[in-house]
Amino acid sequence: MKSHSKSVGLLIEISISVLFFSLFCAIALQLFVHAKTMSENSVLKTKAMNCAQSVADLFRSNEDFDELIKEQYPNASILQNQIVIPLDKDMQPTSSDSDAYQLTASLNEEQNETGIMKTAQISVHSESTSLCSLETKKYFPKEAAS
């Protein structure tokens, strides 16, 4: 009788151990999946910020921003105060209509007696999510502005 109760106790102890092990494995698996998702989002946001910084550098490098955009991004749509560049899923400029992301640069300029302050609000987004946004400014003194 004693050996029967020992084997039942051992069986219950093993069952509880397997239950806890399964529970901890499920928790660890969820943590790994969450970490992978966070890593992919981080890589995507880093690529988006690099793309936005490249356009900001073009904006600050020269007074003729529209011409530089046409050279670097031939598929960009250039309107009066807005530039839209279609990007693929790897944040590379694309010519297809099935673009995954868009880089939008909204341009603004303020004139005063000493010169012109040009501002660009640059953002990278998909239809539902904004990945990054930055604002850059460049001042053109009166001598350089005329």
Q: Are strands 82-87 and 101-112 parallel, antiparallel or unpaired?
A: antiparallel
For the chain, the average pLDDT equals 88
| Residue 17 clears pLDDT 90, i.e. is over it | yes
**Bridge partners, 10 (sequence order):** none
Could you tell me which of 133, 146, 139, 140 has the C-alpha nearest to residue 51? 133
The confidence score (pLDDT) of residue 65 equals 83
| Residue 146 clears pLDDT 70, i.e. is over it | no
The confidence score (pLDDT) of residue 144 equals 46
For residue 79 the two structure tokens come to 């309107």
Amino acid, res. 27 = I
Q: What is the DSSP string of 66-130?
A: HHHHHHH-TT-EE-SSEEEEEE-TTS-B--SS--SEEEEEEEEEEEETTEEEEEEEEEEE-SS-E
Q: State percent of the chain over pLDDT 90.
A: 53
The H or E element spanning position 25 is helix 2-61
In terms of pLDDT, which residue wins out, 28 or 3?
A: 28
The confidence score (pLDDT) of residue 64 equals 81
